[in-house]
Structure 1
């Protein structure tokens, strides 16, 4: 065993990842107080955050993800309870203060009515303003010019005895007050810091008793960039004076929106005059305000997965499936003890073994961990953001780890597309996909296009592996097919119910399952002719490809029937895209498998075989160079997608040829990549809620939001270890559902792929169940009631067609109930 094999051993990694997961849970619980502001990160939105990209102005609150507001969202938020017709024209947000407050008012006005700002260019700078909905009118938001907080309008709005805004006849929902710069600029006339302090003390008194205002905030005094200020402003607007003002407001416990000050401090390039900041920055600032104010009504109310926004968000209560899973997982230990006591009794044979129950408990526990990470506020979530340097660094680290694990394969695992090679192939592709999702690289076409090719490579292996099995074994029974489909879908189906998502969200499981069925049906029809030397098998491939293209092109998938009859809401458009974009590559894999198995020996014995190999390598290198030129020169990823189904076979075949170009390459592989490849199915599906969060739309934080790389390393260890546990548990569950004997079950538990069906056992019925006639077994098992139960159990167990129909019907019925 190599040193890397020892490091990545099953027991050590699983134990380490479990320990780290428990540590993360304990750390999160210690920070979990009774304050709802901490639970939903509202305080973080208001007070803490940083720029993750100062060029694109991507703001990250500490521990949560923001919602990007639209005009429709605003109408939902700003409409108070009552008559809807009058709700949308009532004043809801009031800004009071100087020009910094006016700029934030303008940012909100642009969202309410994009044409508003252009229409008021001739308005005096130091005047009150208001904005209403397009074509409706009425004051929705208002700005009051009052840099000293002395106007009657300000006093009236903030007075505890006043319960309405003069402009609308009802109390505003949000009041934001900002003052300070004018006191410094005109210190000799108005009294400077002392006068400002008296105004702030009055404001604090009013806000502490302003129960009629739902949301009241104070803007910090905006930081300045001294070198950009005019000489007069530079003399009066000094950073020490501004810091003194902000510190005083924090000391008297005013509801200061401190994040605005951090925004300005972190983006000095967004100001031209050193005092007033750009429209883009003010848009981000108002976006924070709207997340703080509106998320409970807009995002939290009736929220259903995927939960993209976690700032100021009230997570929904666990559904019945999650509660049932928690109950069953908790009951696993006493059930194991009971089974051990009943181990020698006949009734225990009709129940899962203690080891199977333990694996079920592990499966349920990991799913509960994923639920806790992604469906509760216990752990922080961060926005994903692409950084080319970080992307290159992570890819380089992964490549270095793969090279360090390079080792010679035993003879049994070597050869053209052997199991160890395909495991390695799946492993490095899955690592690349994880990095791609982590950094939101789908926004970069030059990266999206090759990653789309990785999916094609997975499907190529699906066609190659399953076609090889069917051709070699000739086993087209439902038992083997069911075993493969169960193994592929146990985790995806479990998560769909646990997380309240859709089965189609974990798109690789349904996509792989559909293609397994297509390969099975293609090889099953006229299967007796598969090994003929004639053209039948090639005609079947061509007919199957044409039929699948026709079904996808003419929208013949039965999604509408599923929705009308069972209430299953799956996006047919999304499915047709994912199925159609790689619609030919599976058949290419099948064709390669048939050529290898039917003509491989003759080709290698050909006198010109060495020459053909050399030309194949040259052509493959040229094909890869052409492919990267082609994908880099497309206008965008949508233009590339139109060509992907036709160019992907060239790149995939080129890689296959180059990976097997020499005996050395065929007999060596990377143990690190193989390790990831064995659990690639779990790595792909579990990343939705453990490695990432918010159904892959955010990054999960188990340590601290600021420690990005430390958190990545921590989460990666937990994630990989949990996936290894899931792979073993999924194999055990699938084996139990198939009533596979224990030796075969142990073989199944280690695998996470769907490539080599031959490793799932032999076709036909369980030999133990057919060793004696059914009547002999029935006569030897008293009492009568138990014999009848056992007979019925075995009948259902081995009638796979019946179990298919019943199982799918039950899943669809439960899905409809759950979806309601």
Structure 2
């Protein structure tokens, strides 16, 4: 097996940590089995004792760290001493500690195996590669086939059930937005896999829609719930960045290679800051109006005035700088990619916030519209549909049909047109906003995971920081069979990673317990420092001996 890249300290640290966790998990399974065997023997000796032991074992099996975390709270809360005590108990393989956290160790081992599979697929020569090939007929066939299968098998009507009535769910409900993300993600993934360059502009609209949802979803949550706690903030950052950080470590990639993650992180941070600052005045329309105005003003100054972007973002080059090794001859600045990506969708997140702010107004307006007499209701809804279709047609004819370079210049100012028109048409009637295709909804729930996983176990780059311009090939010479196999593994892995990420989030970032989170962060940083020290010794010791 040949490695397609240098071995780094971070990779060795991961390997040491992974082996340590697997050993600890295997030992915890042995201890649990041993405990169960002892209780089985005692069952024949003392019935009363048997019942008690059986109860204890069932409780042990349910301890998935959803109720207990790596640092267990004491009556007075976690402390520095308890933090380092936890690390020592793990390193020394204390039996009670391992049995208690057996399920978390199992989850961590599974996650490590999946990341190892990432490395094998993308950084070794065990599997082959093939070039991307686009065939419009095959592309449309596969897309329509998925839509037909989804319609036949997963069509569902969602109803808002209350104790007193059953009524259709209102517009832009969670089921609908998950479906929206799902079918966009399918288009996005197929665009990458088949190198369908002719739908490049559609890919830009899909990314804009995701960024719109970032503004809409985050503003809705913070404005309605007024939850600006550190725990909520940390959970959001964990969901957006845990997997991508691990991929950067294991595969020696830059953060900006997975540009969707820094984009969502940046806009989530901005929305959080806008709503959190002077949040006690958020009920004032004037204050919200000023916040929206300042958002537009800052974006205009930073992205429209030459030179301002470079001055503002230069200190963050270490984090957001990126250069594709395949484009070194173009001599692009390190912050080019960040400037390009943020510039494309610099306004749409603000519109997402504005739509969220006026959501309740629209909700009341739709309720009144649905209560009108049939003739008036049909007339108004017909007008809405006709205006939306006209807007889409004009946008399609005069903007969307442009070549990609020209389109990118107009995209920041026009992406709101198809998004708004889609929302209007999708929600024009009670029935249309109530039904979804749950298969696409399922894909939408793991859209972030599929976006990251595609780089390494579906596509292939073969080098650190390189764009995935090749296809992973497990079955040579049979492209469709290979597509079926790699896609199946890719989707199953993405789903499991999504589940594991959520498990770790609940274990390490408990809700409404900021102090506990801080001590978990200290424990994690300490453990990482220990691993890095060992990796330094492993890589440097041979040089010292020579």
Relative contact order: is structure 1 or structure 2 higher (C-alpha 8 Å, sep ≥ 6)?
2
1:584 equivalent among 347, 362, 365: 347
What CA distance in whole angstroms lies between the structure 1 residues aligned with 2:296 and 2:114?
39
Following the alignment from structure 1 to structure 2, what is the Cα–Cα distance between the partners of residues 356 and 624?
49
1:526: which partner in 2? 278
Q: Which has the higher helix share?
A: 2
In 2, distance between residues paired with 1:346 and 1:739? 8
Corresponding residue to 1:643 among 401, 410, 422: 410
Over 3 Å counting, the alpha-carbon distance change for 1:679 and 1:567 in structure 2 is closer
Cross-structure match for 2:156: 407
Residue 386 of structure 1 and its aligned partner are, at CA, apart by 2.3
Q: Are 1:539 and 2:290 an aligned pair?
A: yes
Distance 1:572 1:557, change over 3 A: farther
- The structure that has the greater radius of gyration is 1
Contact persistence 1:468–1:597 (CA under 8 A):
no
User: Is the 1:424–1:677 contact (alpha carbons within 8 Å) kept by the matching residues of 2?
Assistant: yes
Q: How does 1:675-690 map to 2 (within 5 A)?
A: 675-690=442-457
C-alpha displacement at 1:795, in angstroms? Answer: 8.4
Contact 2:11–2:249 (CA under 8 A) maintained in structure 1: yes
C-alpha offsets along residues 179-222 of structure 1, whole Å, 9 cap, x if unaligned? xxxxxxxxxxxxxxxxxxxxxxxxxxxxxxxxxxxxxxxxxxxx
Matched with 1:138 is none
What residue is the counterpart of 2:23 in the other structure? 334
The aligned residue for residue 5 of structure 2 is: 316
2:471 partner SS: strand
Correspondence list, 1:561-576, <5 A = 561-563=315-317, 569-570=321-322, 571-576=334-339
Q: Distance in 2 between matches of 1:384 and 1:557?
A: 39
Distance in 1, matches of 2:232 and 2:498, equals 19
When residues 568 and 682 of structure 1 are mapped into structure 2, their CA distance, relative to the original with a 3 A threshold, is closer
Partner of 1:661: 428
SS of the residue corresponding to residue 381 of structure 1 reads: strand
Name the CA distance, whole Å, in 2 between partners of 1:482 and 1:550: 30
Q: CA deviation at 1:803?
A: 10
The answer to whether the aligner puts 1:712 opposite 2:483 as a matched pair is yes
Are the structure 2 counterparts of residues 602 and 420 from structure 1 closer, same or farther at C-alpha, using a change threshold of 3 Å?
closer
Alignment partner of 1:398 is 2:153: no
Instruction: Give, in angstroms, the shift of residue 325 of structure 1.
Output: 2.7
Paired with 2:499 and 2:70, the residues of 1 have a C-alpha distance of 26
Distance 2:249 2:393 in 1: 44
Shift of 1:666: 1.3
Summarize the Cα distance change of 1:586–1:627 in structure 2 as closer, same or farther, 3 Å threshold: same
TM-fit CA distance, 1:567: 8.3
Distance 1:461 1:376 in 2: 37
Cα 1:803–1:472 shift into 2, 3 Å: farther
Please list, as runs of the form range in 1=range in 2, the aligned pairs for 1:253-264 lying within 5 A after superposition.
none
> How many pairs are equivalent?
441
Assess, with a 3 A threshold, how the Cα gap between structure 1 residues 617 and 707 changes in structure 2: closer, same or farther. same
1:795 and 1:373, CA in 2 relative to 1: closer, same or farther beyond 3 A?
A: closer
Structure 2 CA distance for aligned equivalents of residues 366 and 322 of structure 1:
14
Q: TM-score, normalised by structure 2?
A: 0.74
| CA distance, structure 1, for counterparts of residue 290 and residue 382 of structure 2 | 31
Q: In structure 2, what is the equivalent of residue 468 of structure 1?
A: 220
Distance 1:562 1:649, change over 3 A: closer
Structure 1 position 556, deviation (Å): 4.7
TM-score normalised according to structure 1 size: 0.50
Shift in alpha-carbon separation, 1:327–1:417, aligned structure 2, 3 A:
same
- Whether contact under 8 Å (2:509, 2:517) holds in the other structure is no
Instruction: Provide the secondary structure at the position in 2 that maps to 1:688.
Output: helix
Change in 2 beyond 3 A, CA 1:383/1:765: same
- 8 Å contact 1:557–1:572 — kept in the other structure? no
Counterpart Cα distance in 1 of 2:439 and 2:69: 45
In terms of mean alpha carbon deviation, does 316-325 or 502-511 score higher?
Answer: 316-325
Asked if 1:449 corresponds to 2:209, the answer is: no
Matches within 5 A, 1:230-629: 315-336=4-25, 349=72, 353-404=101-152, 405-411=154-160, 414-442=169-197, 444=198, 447-532=199-284, 534-553=285-304, 554-556=308-310, 559-563=313-317, 569-570=321-322, 571-598=334-361, 600-601=363-364, 604-605=367-368, 610=377, 612-629=380-397
- TM-aligned CA deviation for residue 572 of structure 1: 1.5
Is residue 796 of structure 1 aligned with residue 545 of structure 2?
Answer: no
* 2:129–2:470 contact (8 Å) kept in structure 1: yes
Deviation at 1:538, TM superposition (A): 2.0
